[in-house]
Structure 1
């Protein structure tokens, strides 16, 4: 059974229209001056790297908005690992329309597939361990929905989506509020009972303060593995219901050791920033071109 990945298609459509407006502007001068209006083609989308594929529904939506008469046919499933040369999809119809949507569709797929591929590398590094890999808010402005979607395709999970859906008390909040205890108390008074409070700590002293204040989630920020192991021991003894998260400079080389400290969650900013795109191209199939 094909795995389904949820995406807000209404929001995607709004964003795609803005991105197309940015790219097309007053019109694709090259295409309109070189391609006959009645020319029809088939575009073959293929991958030029090995990697996990994400963004096929996004590419389909791009071409649909450019021209509802274009026919987009995926040739692989979303989330599949594809080797170099694999045909991912075909899009048929007006040659002009295909070329209008080509760059945006490929840019989005390349970025999303790069994120999914990297995420899957991290997931496999902690395979078999009871630790959840999550992303962060270190995303490209305007592309957060797609990038967090790509993390899920890669087998990871999402942290909070924005500033509005969870309380995360970090170092500057602690300084501004006058300490962990007053920060947690004020947050608890101002949020619904359904929302949890996370506190970032950098020392055992702050850890004890977060436990005393009643934090629901404690983030261990840039701690050594030895200190994280001890922090996990203390939290489990004092408040076993508290979720423990590790964060800070996590790499593929260090993530397994971090997971073995016993933390519940590891958040990794590298899943969505400085990620190399997967090379994906679209070639027109000359044999399929036609015109009246």
Structure 2
């Protein structure tokens, strides 16, 4: 398939690379020349130029404003029948707005972080028409392992909001567990090894317990982005008319991490916030 890929960041670059390795022709674009230089495929001067010959365009952008900026170019320069899979994490209402621009649109945010993007094991939650989902499925299968059509346009972003509130909550609780274990004189490595093998086990414990204990917070997914995502989750709850008190607390912890200057660190750096509360 002829694919345009807009957004070659921490997630987008390995995803686009995996598509090339799977045999697709990929034309990439990113606003950062440095990121463009890392890409092994064809490159374009802008989003419009990237999509001009594409059957499918994938966008992996930081937030709703960037998607809103790229959307008119995609709609103006795409060929008739172009399919657009926006894999960014944005507001559900932005996804619904984009669907009104005359392009076949899927909102397909992902979970799994940089490691999942590199390994092609992302979870992909997809909103949009069933026929469009079926058309994009061969591409999604290159990028992920768990791929679910969750409903109409916007539904994918709502599921991603739910994902991010759970991920943030688990990071906060793992951070509190580390602080409790260390303050009690218990080896946190051994303690978390036990937790990871029981009912408290999680993907986060599997992947991040050692780096959290070592206070290694190189970003796989930055606090700045999780702060944005928690804002989406809180807004989605307000729009749905439901109270999510734990989500509100997690959103404040993530906001505190950002306010304390940790925005560029991995979201596991919530541990630094819990430690500061106890210092």
**Normalised TM-score (structure 2):** 0.27
Q: Rg: which structure is higher? A: 1
Structure with the largest fraction of helix: 2
More contact order relative to length (CA 8 Å, sep ≥ 6):
1
